[in-house]
Structure 1
């Protein structure tokens, strides 16, 4: 906020609709909300609160009989992960309603863009539960929460990743430098692991004597 305080989101929708958004000149909240309304065919009635992370904002919208949140992480891969985990019936994963990858404007960067095309957009159905409740729980409730967290972690550790998903995303998720393609098909085998390491080294060093970039 102009006075240096954190925005809690209260009255944000009213301010936005009246053209007095505290984000004016940074990003167009009204455009964002209207895009969400268009994609899920409903109207926002309130913004319950605004949360923030190290690289994202969360706008928790009140919609008729539903609440949604909007986040800004990596788009295509994250959407694919959510779709994959939703296929596991026991996995507690928020339902991804809509996402959009960012678009970069052509031309020189002379001023902050006034639209939202450059922002990744994720709209989720709000899952059950509350955030930041640990300090208010008693010993039994904390033990129950830890048990739930352990169960989720165990489900992730035991999750059987499909070969199709690994084939699609493994090379894409390698950090630079990475091979243009793998010499053999992706498979959970020793041979593929050896080929993966070798191809990664070759992509990094390229020719003997070259500087490692």
Structure 2
């Protein structure tokens, strides 16, 4: 059996269709994020346009989307076979009169609805996200090994200064306040994961080659200068110039520590929870900062040439963000959805891939699986482990410098992923455990140095 949960291949996230309790759009009329009716299965939208007596599926005029698409692709839309929805975007598979298939990806958030405090920050963020994603497609399109879809047209959301400054009005019928992308639809669907082990291994081999190519891709200096700081809020406080150096990597990690664990009295976790940094978390922060110079390897090691290269991360690498052909010999045809993309020193790069579970490396650099479903059988566990081992074996063969960087940065990576994985749980307990580990490692290095002296 081939699993293909959604056939809208440039908008859906791994979470799949979301539930809804309303009959038309979001029951919270003040929400800037659109939903759709609980009984809408994503089909029949095009036919409903000829039946004006039917209730609206969306709170915007779909015909305006068709007008914008037709204006920029030079052909009329003759069908909308399927509509999908991810965390942040709607995706619409459209068929054109010239027989071309396209994918329209439009933000669920309208910056012109509702009007509330902080609207300027919302607009700035939405515009920034759209610009970054468009730049990624432009940058990677010539790179045949990374397989990004062809972007035909895009625009950032536009804030209407003339719009009423209240939420007591009808939602905008236009879509100018939403980020908008039009892609040439790649062959295949997302979330393809065959029962056949040989086909799974084939997909994993192709994914490993894509991941290796992405790691090895040399970012243009102007791209790094424009986007590294903007994609990482913590990076704004780095006191050294952006460079592929050990000094920058230390400063990059230190800035992340400071972002997640502010100084005494600062909010930690979600600001609305009003939790402040406690003594245990603060002590952990100091231990982590002291440890950094000890755990970043020297640049001069000739066997580790790629430790501090600045590399582009997808941020959500997995089959849910890929189109894959449903065939006897499945083929990965595109990697999309760069919303969480960012730039990091190579030593902090994450090779994880999401399939039916997550395939990743443990702290020792050995294959493991996570995000495992409850009640997994021993047989399924073994199958997943074989997938992890195969994926990382191919990745190691395709990019041996990747595996070398991962093993050299074992301690630094433990800190980085502990910081990025934290979801606001008990900060004192979470960072207390991390801080205890940091103190042990620091004691180890100090003792080691004393023995040498």
TM over 0.5: yes
Matched, 1:44 2:44: no
**Partner residue of 1:122 out of 181, 185, 188:** 181
Which shifted more, 93-102 or 124-133?
124-133
Which shifted more, 12-21 or 125-134?
12-21
Which shifted more, 48-57 or 65-74?
65-74
Shift of 1:27: 1.9
For the structure 1 residues 131 and 198, does the alpha-carbon distance in structure 2 shift closer, same or farther, using more than 3 Å as the test? closer
For the structure 1 residues 21 and 98, does the alpha-carbon distance in structure 2 shift closer, same or farther, using more than 3 Å as the test? farther
1:32 paired residue number: 65
Query: Superposition pairs for residues 102-141 of structure 1, below 5 Å?
Result: 102-106=157-161, 107-111=165-169, 112-135=171-194, 138-141=196-199
Structure-2 separation of matches of 1:178 and 1:154: 29
Structure-1 separation of matches of 2:81 and 2:41: 12
Please give the secondary structure, in 1, of the residue aligned with 2:43: coil
Which shifted more, 96-105 or 195-204?
195-204
Shift of 1:30: 1.2
Tell me if the contact between 1:69 and 1:123 (Cα under 8 Å) persists in the aligned partners.
yes
Tell me if the contact between 2:145 and 2:209 (Cα under 8 Å) persists in the aligned partners.
no
Tell me if the contact between 2:157 and 2:178 (Cα under 8 Å) persists in the aligned partners.
yes
Matched, 1:55 2:116: no
Q: How many residues align?
A: 206
Tell me if the contact between 1:51 and 1:59 (Cα under 8 Å) persists in the aligned partners.
yes
Which shifted more, 65-74 or 115-124?
65-74
Shift of 1:91: 2.0
Please give the secondary structure, in 1, of the residue aligned with 2:93: strand
Query: Superposition pairs for residues 1-213 of structure 1, below 5 Å?
Result: 2=23, 4-10=38-44, 12-19=45-52, 20=54, 22-24=56-58, 26-63=59-96, 64-72=98-106, 74-106=129-161, 107-111=165-169, 112-135=171-194, 138-175=196-233, 178-179=236-237, 184-194=240-250, 196=252, 211-212=265-266
For the structure 1 residues 28 and 88, does the alpha-carbon distance in structure 2 shift closer, same or farther, using more than 3 Å as the test? same
Task: Determine which structure has greater relative contact order: mean sequence separation of CA pairs < 8 Å that are 6+ residues apart, divided by chain length.
Answer: 2
The root-mean-square deviation of aligned C-alpha atoms, in Å, is 3.0
TM-score (norm 2): 0.41
Deviations 1:9-36, CA, capped at 9 Å, x for gaps: 23x1121244346324x12211112111
Tell me if the contact between 1:102 and 1:119 (Cα under 8 Å) persists in the aligned partners.
yes
Deviations 1:81-120, CA, capped at 9 Å, x for gaps: 1111113132211001111111233422323222111111
Tell me if the contact between 2:229 and 2:235 (Cα under 8 Å) persists in the aligned partners.
no
Structure-1 separation of matches of 2:55 and 2:46: 8
For the structure 1 residues 54 and 198, does the alpha-carbon distance in structure 2 shift closer, same or farther, using more than 3 Å as the test? closer
Which shifted more, 83-92 or 53-62?
83-92
For the structure 1 residues 16 and 176, does the alpha-carbon distance in structure 2 shift closer, same or farther, using more than 3 Å as the test? farther
Structure 1 unaligned regions, length at least 5 = none
Structure-1 separation of matches of 2:55 and 2:73: 23
Shift of 1:44: 0.4
Structure 2 unaligned regions, length at least 5 = 1-21, 24-36, 108-128, 268-453
For the structure 1 residues 204 and 5, does the alpha-carbon distance in structure 2 shift closer, same or farther, using more than 3 Å as the test? closer
TM-score (norm 1): 0.81
